[in-house]
Amino acid sequence: MITIENLVKKYRDFELNVSLEIPDGQVCGLVGKNGAGKSTTIKSILGLVRPDSGKVIVMGKNVADMKANDKQNIGVALAESGFSGYLTVNDVIAILKNMYEDFDEDYFRHLCIRFDVPLGKVIREFSTGMKAKVRVLSAISHKAKLLIMDEPTSGLDVEARNDILDILREYLKENEDCSILISSHISSDLENLCDDIYLINDGKIILHEDTDRILSSYAILKVDEETYGKMDRSYVLKEKKESYGYRCLTDQKQFYMENYPEIVMENGSIDDLILMLTGR
């Protein structure tokens, strides 16, 4: 669905240099700290920024050659950009109806009612969570084969975040062929949604792993100085000095469980990956 080959985009104090692949029907998470390059990657996929070099291919077409009509199959929700705040949701419905060939007005209205989105109020008077819902609903209401979501849950309370994730889960259930690229720095949101995760830091992909493998094989080992000195560290990806000794990230949990049963171990999470691999 999306292929990025050696995409390079240089700014004065930042350089993005990434390659990634999202197969058809796959849900892919792009995680990383603020300023890591997630939004620039997404903007490159959407043709909103032009790469200095490299190729971005979306649904078989080079993004640079994509025509307006090719975007009919893409649903987009961006973190800090949406419909003008001076429009109402009723206006948005009228616009989408005339913008997308497959816009499903009944479905959109149904979801608005379900998630208490007022139809006649101007968007700028909405809460942050409500605005996020409008963005996501707009992206999923025209039977898009590819959804691109940049931080759709950013700045939302738990309830609003769950609502957004529920919307996406239901969409996936009803559209199994759909691919999703979703970026977030709240990685716990992605653990139940994504098939695989790309971890980006300082403009580079530093890890690509199946979500299931992260949750089943990655772990945090908490070891004192003595154990740290004598243990086999071949499978330690990163360690950090702590007051009690060392905190180590491994992708071979089983190995340490079998050989060092005395080590205190915590199951791995995407947040641990970010903290250990990108933290200071």
Rule CB under 8 A: which residues touch other proteins?
Answer: 43, 46-50, 67-72, 74, 76, 78, 80-88, 91, 94-100, 122, 124, 135, 148
Compare residues 147 and 220 and give the one whose CB is closer to other proteins. Answer: 147
Compare residues 76 and 221 and give the one whose CB is closer to other proteins. Answer: 76
Shortest spacing between CB 72 and other proteins, in angstroms: 5
Compare residues 48 and 265 and give the one whose CB is closer to other proteins. Answer: 48
CB-count exposure of residue 119 (10 Å: 0-12, 13-18, 19+): middle
Shortest spacing between CB 66 and other proteins, in angstroms: 9
Q: What is the CA radius of gyration of the chain?
A: 21
Compare residues 96 and 231 and give the one whose CB is closer to other proteins. Answer: 96
User: How many residues are listed for the chain in this entry?
Assistant: 280
Shortest spacing between CB 123 and other proteins, in angstroms: 9
Shortest spacing between CB 226 and other proteins, in angstroms: 54
Shortest spacing between CB 84 and other proteins, in angstroms: 5
* Under 8 Å between Cβ of 76 and 148: yes
Q: What's the rounded Cα separation, in Å, for the pair 44 and 253?
A: 36
Contacting residues for 258 by C-beta, under 8 A, at least 6 apart: none
Nearest CA among 65, 77, 58, 227 for reference residue 139: 77
Compare residues 86 and 106 and give the one whose CB is closer to other proteins. Answer: 86
Contacting residues for 76 by C-beta, under 8 A, at least 6 apart: 46, 139, 147, 148, 149
Shortest spacing between CB 140 and other proteins, in angstroms: 14
Q: What is the largest CA-CA distance in the chain?
A: 68
Sign of CA dihedral 43, 191, 164, 1: positive
Q: What is the DSSP string of 180-207?
A: EEEEES-GGGTTTT-SEEEEEETTEEEE
Shortest spacing between CB 178 and other proteins, in angstroms: 17
Compare residues 89 and 200 and give the one whose CB is closer to other proteins. Answer: 89
Compare residues 50 and 110 and give the one whose CB is closer to other proteins. Answer: 50
Q: What's the rounded Cα separation, in Å, for the pair 98 and 91?
A: 11
* 3-class SS of residue 155: coil
